[in-house]
Structure 1
């Protein structure tokens, strides 16, 4: 019986430590990545403002080309939604909605995840001309996880940043062809 008591005590101790650690981790997370593309900023913006084009550069969309997609509204305008449903656990199910467009500069979206977990994140893509033929593209995501799930914020930014880097690299390659 003492081995069982020791094992249970260790497990309880680990759970308590994890819950205590979560008290000191921010609930919000922010992730940003950027790339320089050798194309005019207008050309770049006119491509990224269409959410359907993410099928050609977003790592998450490319993970499951067989995901069920459902679109509503006019792509490239405020209010457009792109809903996905995938059996791939890394893709899951959710909806992306265009919330604001600053023509030629920035597009803001809200992503409502349903599976593998429920959450809401705000995303943006912003283009800044460097020269007539070179553009900086920044992609960012801001989200929040309630206690004790905020402990994931120690790992989420690094994972998301890698995915954003991959997606922006693909965007660059596609637009510079």
Structure 2
């Protein structure tokens, strides 16, 4: 048996092992962070429900000052869309649409990423009243990594990668709201 044939067999075995392993790997991810803000729930909710305001505290919006943003629909209502375009890879091209609003409690989003890779995810921001006129804000993103790309999920450390950006955004929100 020639050396090329042996190398080919080894490569086929490696690919087969990876594809089989991907069958057993998780496909879903969910990342969530929270913070307490020293403001009443109504003022916090009425600020975060507007997509334009999210650009004021979102880490991703602040990475590229040249990012182009466009808005469709009535901001702060179901169906409104915020779209972004950036040459910076970490920002890319995509859009966010408000899909549901539970007044004073929660905003749900559809996230559609177009570049650097196509992907869909869902996100939410929730507000909950706490003692002393404080508000607990939760921000989360979840999605599905399709087979066989899901083999990358453990390596990508989505919780850490996305979670750090969510936490920085929440810290920015806290600073802005308490200013």
For normalisation by structure 1, the TM-score amounts to: 0.91
Following the alignment from structure 2 to structure 1, what is the Cα–Cα distance between the partners of residues 10 and 58? 42
Q: C-alpha separation between the residues in 1 aligned to 2:37 and 2:99?
A: 25
- Structure 2: give runs of 5+ residues left out of the alignment: none
Q: Aligned-residue CA RMSD in angstroms? A: 1.7
Aligned length: 176
Residue 133 (structure 1) shift: 1.7
Which residue of the partner structure matches residue 163 of structure 1? 165
TM-score, normalised with respect to structure 2: 0.90
1:157, distance to aligned residue in structure 2 (A) = 2.4
Moved more, 101-110 or 124-133: 124-133
Partner of 2:75: 75
- Which contiguous aligned blocks of 4+ residues in structure 1 show a shift greater than 3 angstroms? 4-17
* CA distance, structure 2, for counterparts of residue 160 and residue 88 of structure 1: 17
| SS of alignment partner, residue 91 of structure 2 | coil
Shift of 1:10: 5.6
Q: Unaligned 5+ residue runs, structure 1?
A: none
Q: Offset of 1:119 from its aligned partner?
A: 1.1
SS in 1 for 2:146: coil
- State the alpha-carbon separation in 2 of the partners of residues 127 and 73 from structure 1: 23
Q: Tell me, what secondary structure is at the counterpart of 1:23? A: helix
Q: CA deviation at 1:11?
A: 4.9
Distance 1:7 1:64, change over 3 A: farther
